[in-house]
Amino acid sequence: MGRKVQITQMRRADVKTVFGLQSEFEAFLQGLTANTRSTNAAARRRLFLRYGFGRKPAFKCLIAKMGGVPVGYICYHLGFDPDEMSGPVVYVIDLFVSSGARGLGIGKALMNKVAGICREEGGIAVYTCVWKKNRKAIGFYRSIGADWVTDVPLMRWPKDRF
């Protein structure tokens, strides 16, 4: 990694700038699939603050800065996988590196930080979901040593059906 990258816990004050990265992410996803995040940016920001930085945070985020400028972030939460009852697991729910800062090792550094947190918690694996069309991200995850979970497809039960 050439220029120095700092990775720290994301704070409330970072959220505004992170949403600049999130809209870049949104545009990136839109290019991949029509089925994008359903709520608009302002509503998502409110939810992000409420569930990430409220009294009972549902997830945590790390932010990567280069020369003080945010260039990437990762969000994750702790969980359990019944097939891996030998310890907790960490789910990565969002990972993004700004297009101008890719290929510098920032994505890997963010994943490594989360892997370190997983290890500290006694965890045994890091999980993530990735769009099938996102070939670059798949290449990235494979290059760091992740592999497909092929026999456990994700199911979704939306609230209007319960």
Ligand X SMILES: CC(C)(COP(=O)(O)OP(=O)(O)OC[C@H]1O[C@@H](n2cnc3c(N)ncnc32)[C@H](O)[C@@H]1OP(=O)(O)O)[C@@H](O)C(=O)NCCC(=O)NCCS
Note the residues at the interface with ligand X (CB under 6 A): 25, 28, 95-97, 102-108, 128, 130, 134, 136-137, 139-140, 143
Q: Shortest Cβ distance from residue 95 to ligand X (Å)?
A: 5
Q: Shortest Cβ distance from residue 104 to ligand X (Å)?
A: 5
Nearest CA-CA partner of 115 in 142, 145, 140, 135: 145
Residue 114: φ, ψ to 5°: -65, -35
Terminal CA-CA length for the chain: 48
Let me know: does 10 contact 62? Beta carbons within 8 Å.
yes
Q: Shortest Cβ distance from residue 161 to ligand X (Å)?
A: 26
How many residues in total does the chain contain?
A: 162
